[in-house]
Amino acid sequence: MQKDTQKERIIWLDIVRAFSVILIICGHFNDAITGKNISIANKAYLIPSTFANGSFGTLGVSLFFMISGASLMYTYSNNIKIKTYFTKRFKGIYPMFWLAYAGAFLYYFWKNKGIHFIAEKWTFVLTILGFDGYFNYRVKTFYLLGEWFLGCIIFMYILFPLIRLLYKKNGYLFLGCYLVIYTILVLYYPFQMSITRNLFIRLMDFCFGIMVIDKIKKIKFYYAVPTSILLLLLLLYKVPGHGMYAITLMGMSAFIMLIAVSEKIKNKHIIQLCQTIGKYSYAIFLVHHIVINEMLARFSGCRLSFVEGSLLLLEIVIVIVFIAWSLFSVEKRTVAKVKGV
């Protein structure tokens, strides 16, 4: 695998992570356009992002979960110290989330001239823990920012030591058993939560990332050919039966294809750009929804040309990047000051 020899980074992890960020932003931009009744070149989107078996958003989330599983397995392939692991995960998630939430709360307090939540006070515990978006389908919470998959990925982080233990004992047996569980759960889905958001379903993406980083030592470029064909077929033609199978296959095929292509990328500027996007990806995930919705609100009901729509997306991306960079910087300084106290 192609690595950054200085930092021992796997380059394709950064490239696929950056690609997932781009897909999610574009998908949510199009979703918000529809919600705001905005027309761009007489269409309810800037570029097509909904396909026969999914969308930019579903594909981006699948890639994000796969990257998460692959990154954790790569980091903790040899050993894992539970206390150190959970301390690192806590520091990587909560300080930035709490700062971002505080900023969003103050902004909406100012905008709405008060606090207007239809939620019981106890549900604020879900916000503190980062699960407000994940459980918002079932109970009204104080959800403001981030995504449902923040809560889902936190659950995955919690389960990772156990998953790693079972995988290390017998990887193929573990994956085979989970594949059976996944297949049955999708076929006879019993939960009220949307199937695309369910932890036990999306663990398939997470575990696939673990398998790829551990079992497939080299993704060769010609792997991109069959996976590209499969991905294209899944994008164009509706698969009969339950659509979740197709969503999972789309993510898997796109993941392998992107890795194969990434291995051929040598341009240092592209690599540095992807590493930068990856560095700020969490901050971007936290703030992008609010930025998109608030900026598009000004254009509600407007009819824009393709050029105008492109400029609008560019402006939104610039603002997302600036706020994400600011959040990242403030979080680092705040944590450093707290440590120094």
84 pLDDT above the threshold of 60: yes
Tens of pLDDT, residue by residue over 56-83, are 889 999 999 999 999 999 999 888 999 9
User: What pLDDT score was predicted for residue 147?
Assistant: 82
Tell me how crowded residue 188 is: count the other CB atoms within 10 A of its CB. 8
Q: What is the pTM of this model?
A: 0.91
For residues 73 and 164, is the Cβ–Cβ distance under 8 A? Answer: yes
Distance CA 66, CA 56 (A): 15
287 pLDDT above the threshold of 80: yes
For residues 53 and 141, is the Cβ–Cβ distance under 8 A? Answer: no
User: What pLDDT score was predicted for residue 290?
Assistant: 94
157 pLDDT above the threshold of 50: yes
User: What pLDDT score was predicted for residue 8?
Assistant: 64
Residue range 249-263: average pLDDT?
A: 93
Does 117 or 153 have the greater pLDDT score?
153
**Residue 39: phi, psi to the nearest 5?**
-115, 130
Strands (E), 197-282: none
How sure is the predictor about 7, in pLDDT bands with cuts at 50, 70 and 90?
very low
140 pLDDT above the threshold of 70: yes
Tens of pLDDT, residue by residue over 31-47, are 999 889 999 999 988 98
Residue range 277-306: average pLDDT?
A: 94
Average pLDDT of the chain, as a whole number: 91
Residue range 142-159: average pLDDT?
A: 92
